[in-house]
Amino acid sequence: MGLPEKQYFSTDEIAIRWGCEADLLFHYFEMGILHPAVIFKTMKCELWEGEEPGNTNTSKLIAPYFITDKPLYILSYNKIVSVYNDEYEEEIHLNGHIFVFDLDNPHQWVTVPRDNTTTYVINDNDFIITKQERDRFEKEFDLKIQGNNKEATNLPEFEYVDNTRIEELKSLANNLKYDLTKLLRLIEELNHNWKNANYFSTAMLVRAIMDHIPPIFECKNFNGICNNYKGSKSFKEATQNLQSSLRKIADGHLHSSISSKEILPNRTQVNFSNTLDLLLAELLKILSNVKV
């Protein structure tokens, strides 16, 4: 008689099953197409019930001191990594974030209180994939698990700049006041380096794109886009994030001298893909109105 199958798996176990690198799973987390989970073994949480996870105004507090031993799905991986703190190096601080028991029926959800005296910090090895989530993903993307090594086919790819955005730029490339040849090449090299985990190059290429496009916004430099371009509030926040965070990260790697101890960048540190997409979307709006 065979042993019953496990109900959750480490990212390494899933990577072996699919015949891919574990880094690819974290790309899927960032894309929002694969949902990781965590287990709080002794952490006191708050249990809420309501139709809008995270909205305490429309939800009811069921238990102010709740401990669960079942996996909790992370509602938004990107929001969690956005509170990345250098003090913890690669670890991720979870206080204040929202988790649910069932992604298909998230009416009961938990949060780790911000005022909790214990700071709950996890690292990449603490993320798990439940059997339910593994099976959902394989069915949705029609993964074919085959061969002795259980290699999966049809795994979706994650581009730093989405292919639809690239095609939109290419569709406007003719008869423009601006030549997009270099911009498109920078994006092509950015996607290539991101896919191959070349994170120094990734940061520097995003910085190069930032420095390349200000004339399209009628600005002398990227700081001018942040301060003078009349965009939406979300666009301004996005450009300021690139200017204050990504530029410093890229410059730090570009200009730092050799030392006795080196810490290499990782995908979390250089992933500004959502922010860059907002910038390119605004650029497309402008280009659609500046044809020669």
The predicted pLDDT at position 47 comes to: 92
Task: Name the least confident of 13-27, 41-55, 65-79, 145-159.
Answer: 145-159
Determine the average pLDDT of the residues in 37-56: 86
Instruction: Tell me the per-residue pLDDT of 215-249, one tens digit each, with 9 for 90 and over.
Output: 999 999 999 999 999 888 878 888 998 999 999 99
Determine the average pLDDT of the residues in 150-171: 80
| Percent of the chain predicted with pLDDT > 70 | 86
Query: What single string gives the DSSP state of each residue in 225-262?
Result: HHHH----HHHHHHHHHIIIIIHHHHHHHHHPPP-SS-
For residue 31, the surrounding DSSP H or E stretch is helix 22-31
DSSP code at position 58 = S
Q: Is residue 263 part of a domain?
A: yes
Determine the average pLDDT of the residues in 93-112: 81
Cross-strand partners of 45: 66
Residue-number span of the structural domain to which 134 is assigned: 8-153
Determine the average pLDDT of the residues in 87-109: 72
**Are 192 and 75 contained in the same domain?**
no
The predicted pLDDT at position 220 comes to: 94
Q: Is residue 31 part of a domain?
A: yes
The Cα–Cα gap between 79 and 267 comes to: 15
**Are 189 and 210 contained in the same domain?**
yes
For residue 128, CA distances in Å to 15, 165, 216 come to 11, 31, 44
**Are 123 and 213 contained in the same domain?**
no
Task: Show which of 118, 153, 188 is a domain's final residue.
Answer: 153
Q: Is residue 266 part of a domain?
A: yes
Task: Show which of 153, 187, 212 is a domain's final residue.
Answer: 153
What pLDDT band is residue 84 in, cutting at 50, 70 and 90? very low
What's the number of domains the chain is made of? 2
Q: Who contacts 28 (Cβ-Cβ below 8 Å, separation ≥6)? A: 34, 137, 156, 158
Q: Is residue 148 part of a domain?
A: yes
The Cα–Cα gap between 18 and 116 comes to: 38
Predicted TM-score (pTM) of this structure: 0.58
Q: Is residue 206 part of a domain?
A: yes
The predicted pLDDT at position 203 comes to: 95
Cross-strand partners of 110: 47, 99
Task: Show which of 119, 153, 187 is a domain's final residue.
Answer: 153
